[in-house]
Amino acid sequence: MEKRILINDFATRSFRDVADQDYIAARLSYRHGLYSQFHWQSLQALEKYLKAILLYNRVKAKDINHDLDKAIKYTRKLPFLLKRSPITDEFIKHVSDFGRFRYLESSYFIKGPKLAELDEAVWEIRRYCKVLDHEVTLPSGKVANMLSRELDAIEASDQHPPQKFKLIGGLLEKILDKREHTSRSALIWQNLFFGNSIRKQVRMHSALYAVNAPLYYIRKF
């Protein structure tokens, strides 16, 4: 049991908590027009959330590195379906295509409300970022497996305002509950998915930006 607890703690602190910080950093980068950094930090956040989910469920995946496509493929080995919207899948493809190039090795573009798409992607995937397949002892003494109940709660969250879904012990939740936290304003700014109040609409700029990599010009000679 001790080993199991330590592994789950590693998944939480080294993957999920750091992913929460990458997510906030990505929001800041987008807000200030640092789109290359936004791509990289978004990729880092989603990568770590997915790795945490795989580790919580003991799915061996040692060769992911920064490849979101591989991470998604490994999720097919989970004992449940990782449900995502088409918007989230499109966003994952976008940051998978452009986020891994940290030195402008490849040209990139950004178009549309990508920050809102990141918020939705993080919310959808992060819901699974905890120990779901566990057992509890009922007052009757009977041991009950909680996986189906945990999955039902996740599925039911689609029918309620997203801000109502909370991860117990989650770093984002701790930041939201501490009004003086220095990262709180960056997290809740124009965020439809994370916050203590229910928001039905937000206002943010829709980015339109493109950069050609230096290698693009070199290849022309």
For residue 48, CA distances in Å to 13, 72, 191, 218 come to 11, 12, 21, 35
134 pLDDT above the threshold of 90: no
144-150, long-range: CB < 8 A, 24+ apart: 147/79, 147/80
pLDDT computed for residue 201 by the predictor: 83
pLDDT computed for residue 145 by the predictor: 82
Least confident window among 102-111, 143-152, 170-179: 143-152
Please give the residue range of the domain that contains residue 184: 2-218
How would you classify residue 65: left for phi > 0, otherwise alpha for psi between -120 and 50, otherwise beta? left
Number of domains within the chain: 1
pLDDT computed for residue 188 by the predictor: 96
Largest Cα span, the chain: 77
pLDDT tens, position by position, 21-58: 999 999 999 999 999 999 999 999 999 999 999 999 99
pLDDT computed for residue 62 by the predictor: 87
Average pLDDT, the chain: 92
pLDDT computed for residue 221 by the predictor: 54
219 pLDDT above the threshold of 90: no
pTM for the whole thing?
A: 0.93
Cβ-based burial of 42 (10 A; exposed 0-12, middle 13-18, buried ≥19): buried
